[in-house]
Amino acid sequence: MSLAARDAKHQVLKDIFGFDGFRPGQETVMDAVLSGRHVLTVMPTGSGKSLCYQVPSLVMGGLTIVVSPLVALMQDQVAALRLAGVAADAINSAIDRGDNVAAWRRAAAGDTRLLYLAPERLMTERMIAALKKLDIRLIAVDEAHCISQWGPAFRPEYEALAQLREAFPRVPIIALTATADEVTRSDIASRLFDGKAETVVLGFDRPNIRLTVQPKHDGKKQLLHFLQSHRGESGIVYCLSRNKTEQTAEFLNRSGVRALAYHAGMDKDLRDANQNAFMTERAIVMVATIAFGMGIDKSDVRFVFHMDLPGSLEAYYQEIGRAGRDGAAADAHMLFGLSDMAMRRKFIDQENAGEDRKRREHQRLGALIGYCEAPGCRRQVLLSYFGETSEPCGNCDLCIQPGNLVDGTAEAKLALVTIRETGERYGAAHIVDILRGMNNEKVVAAGHARLATFGKGAARKREEWQSLLRQLVAAEFLKLDVAGYGGLSLGAKGRRLLQGEGAFGYRPLAPRTDTRKARREAAAAELTTSDNSLLAALKELRMGLARQRRVPAYVIFSDRTLIDMAQRRPKNETEFAEVHGVGAAKLKEFGATFLTAIRKAS
């Protein structure tokens, strides 16, 4: 990469986006793209993934194609870019045909820098043929985990994105996601890049988020109790169904908590109004299905509460990542019931997908259940799933209130020996059958009824053994082959245990009744009373401007920008330009308006 390109990206970052420096990982990704290499990047929510292709796009010139899965997400990003003075457009089904035609003409004429397209719109012979005639310099695939996780079952065009490297052989492609385990990363790299891409993975840890899992007894009552320690704060409550979303929001409002609902079945105007209110006002609880959250940039979400079990650890990680984006303390609280587990398995079995995908999803669900049943630090289990190691975090329920573990060393050794003696290639169901002495066809045909451990665990129920095996995986005594057929093999800790080193403690399957939550440490307020008063006025001004332009409020300025504005209290345009997130276009568009508001409040 040339020195000029290196200098140009810093200039674009400051002049267009108003930022003084790059966040960790951003520059590494940009340099790879600017050097013409394919890149797969996995960066935590809130780490600035979009800039990784937006800045190179403006440095490289020509046209950048951005593949985005959600119409609302691409509309918001286009609006934000335009306010920053960047020529951006979107072509999608939610836009009037005449506007789509006009957007295409601007792109074809070379007047557009970034063109956002849904995969369904992009992956047609006609569109690919038309784009080949243009000066395409970069292709960005946002939310790239959809390639692996949605695939042919839900969005077949995501799988078709593999054709891009052949259609545009000299154009670098960047794939971005906030959540992808090793299997998903490998899947994306294989499908999209034929394995020939640079992979940049930033750390997955979000240490400011406290992790808690609580056995589900009375979900609504447990939610209300949790919210007592979060009065006056914004948060998200995730529910499995649309009906439960609406019922929970109604329940909270009757209970004195201001709550709004959000799901895909709602009227679009109401859904957009609820999202805008949540983004711009304080102390609103958004009760939502997974339809809410992708692309949401609200810095002061203080909690994410799961009323129901998510679909996988990847989904869980992505959803809790919407909390605490400002770096301050936040809570991720999940209720876990056996009925949730059964419902999730039913969803997977009913999915219109191949057996290979269903098998992987069952294994991913098993890893999530293992996290819920973890005998030790939850953060260690979560990070281990994404391939990272860590010390006990001190900021999860099991670190704060460890509880009593039952000694399961003898049972663990029994299971480990069985796994070793069967070649470390069978899944949990088969191992449990051997331990419980089940003379079924598979056990007999493999000769496993003759093992010394056959039937030695008959005193325990199937569910108990399944829970023990999940906890052995969670505690890294065992390894689970998610990519293959779910085979269990011994980890280093498991081998040491068989050699007489260490012990294994587990949590009984029955739900614990101790639902006490450690009190969250109060974060010191960074703004004075006067600053808070100004911040409220600035947010009100931002909301009015957003309504005039029919865009989400954060597209005007992010919360972080308004907080910086309230603290700095700039007196003129020169000082206003130094506020975090104020680029040249926004300085020209909004500088005088916000400076007037600041002067009135001073």
Tell me the CATH number at 489.
1.10.10.10
Q: How far apart are CA 250 and CA 246, in angstroms?
A: 6
Tell me the CATH number at 557.
1.10.150.80
Q: Is residue 457 part of a domain?
A: yes
The helix (H) or strand (E) run that includes residue 14 is helix 3-15
Integer-rounded Cα radius of gyration of the chain:
26
Half-sphere exposure of 457 (CA within 13 A, CB side): 29
Torsional class of 143: left (φ above 0), alpha (ψ -120 to 50), beta (otherwise) = left
Domain count, the chain: 4
Tell me the CATH number at 123.
3.40.50.300
Q: pLDDT tens-digit profile of 463-516?
A: 889 889 888 987 889 988 876 677 899 989 999 999 999 999 888 865 433 333
For the record, the structure tokens of 352 come out as 């219109």
Q: Is residue 518 part of a domain?
A: no
Q: How far apart are CA 354 and CA 306, in angstroms?
A: 29
Q: How far apart are CA 500 and CA 493, in angstroms?
A: 11
DSSP sequence for 298-333? -TTEEEEEESS--SSHHHHHHHHTTS-TTSS-EEEE
- Mapping DSSP onto H, E and C, the string for 135-173 reads CEEEEEECCCHHHHHCHHHHCHHHHHHHHHHHHCCCCCE
Q: Indicate if 263 and 370 belong to the same structural domain.
A: yes
Q: Indicate if 257 and 373 belong to the same structural domain.
A: yes
Strand order in the sheet with 234-238: 209-215, 330-336, 301-306, 234-238, 285-288, 259-262
**Could you give the maximum distance between any two Cα atoms of the chain, in Å?**
85
Beta bridge partners of 533: none
Q: Indicate if 11 and 128 belong to the same structural domain.
A: yes
Q: Indicate if 279 and 329 belong to the same structural domain.
A: yes
Q: Domain span at residue 413?
A: 406-506
The helix (H) or strand (E) run that includes residue 585 is helix 584-601
| Spatial contact of 559 and 302, defined as CB atoms under 8 Å apart | no
The helix (H) or strand (E) run that includes residue 52 is helix 51-60
Nearest to 170 by CA among 115, 141, 132: 132
Q: Is residue 479 part of a domain?
A: yes
Q: Is residue 516 part of a domain?
A: no
| Spatial contact of 222 and 215, defined as CB atoms under 8 Å apart | no
Q: How far apart are CA 307 and CA 127, in angstroms?
A: 42
Give residues with Cβ within 8 angstroms of 254, minimum separation 6: none
Q: Supply the pLDDT for residue 6.
A: 62
Which of 400, 432, 453 terminates a domain? The answer is: 400
Q: Indicate if 225 and 196 belong to the same structural domain.
A: no
Q: Is residue 197 part of a domain?
A: yes
CA 128 to chain centre: 30
Beta bridge partners of 215: 336
Beta bridge partners of 383: none
For the record, the structure tokens of 535 come out as 């911040």
End-to-end Cα, the chain, rounded Å: 48
Q: Is residue 514 part of a domain?
A: no
Q: Indicate if 11 and 80 belong to the same structural domain.
A: yes
Q: How far apart are CA 457 and CA 337, in angstroms?
A: 25
Cα distances from 292 to residues 208, 285, 322, in angstroms, run: 22, 12, 10
Q: What is the DSSP letter of 450?
A: G
Q: Is residue 511 part of a domain?
A: no
Which of 201, 226, 256 terminates a domain? The answer is: 201
For the record, the structure tokens of 585 come out as 């276009």
| Spatial contact of 261 and 243, defined as CB atoms under 8 Å apart | no
Place of tokens 């006609």: 126
Give residues with Cβ within 8 angstroms of 373, minimum separation 6: 467, 470, 471, 474, 507, 509
| Spatial contact of 81 and 114, defined as CB atoms under 8 Å apart | yes
Q: Indicate if 136 and 61 belong to the same structural domain.
A: yes
Place of tokens 């992808």: 180
| Spatial contact of 167 and 128, defined as CB atoms under 8 Å apart | yes
Report residue 455: phi and psi, to 5°.
80, 0
Nearest to 190 by CA among 152, 230, 213, 162: 162
Q: Indicate if 452 and 304 belong to the same structural domain.
A: no
Q: Supply the pLDDT for residue 155.
A: 56
Q: Supply the pLDDT for residue 364.
A: 86
Other C-beta atoms lying within 10 Å of the C-beta of residue 600: 9
Q: Indicate if 236 and 359 belong to the same structural domain.
A: yes
Give residues with Cβ within 8 angstroms of 545, minimum separation 6: 556, 590, 593
Give residues with Cβ within 8 angstroms of 378, minimum separation 6: 211, 213, 371, 393, 396, 397, 398, 399
Torsional class of 387: left (φ above 0), alpha (ψ -120 to 50), beta (otherwise) = left
Q: What is the DSSP letter of 396?
A: B
Q: Indicate if 191 and 218 belong to the same structural domain.
A: no
Which of 474, 506, 538 terminates a domain? The answer is: 506
Q: Indicate if 586 and 446 belong to the same structural domain.
A: no
Q: Is residue 114 part of a domain?
A: yes
Nearest to 596 by CA among 554, 534, 533, 532: 534
| Spatial contact of 310 and 141, defined as CB atoms under 8 Å apart | no
Low-confidence ranges of the chain (pLDDT < 50): 150-154, 511-526
Cα distances from 77 to residues 123, 355, 556, in angstroms, run: 21, 37, 11
Amino acid at 62: G
The helix (H) or strand (E) run that includes residue 66 is strand 63-67
Report the residue count for the chain.
602
Q: Indicate if 196 and 214 belong to the same structural domain.
A: no
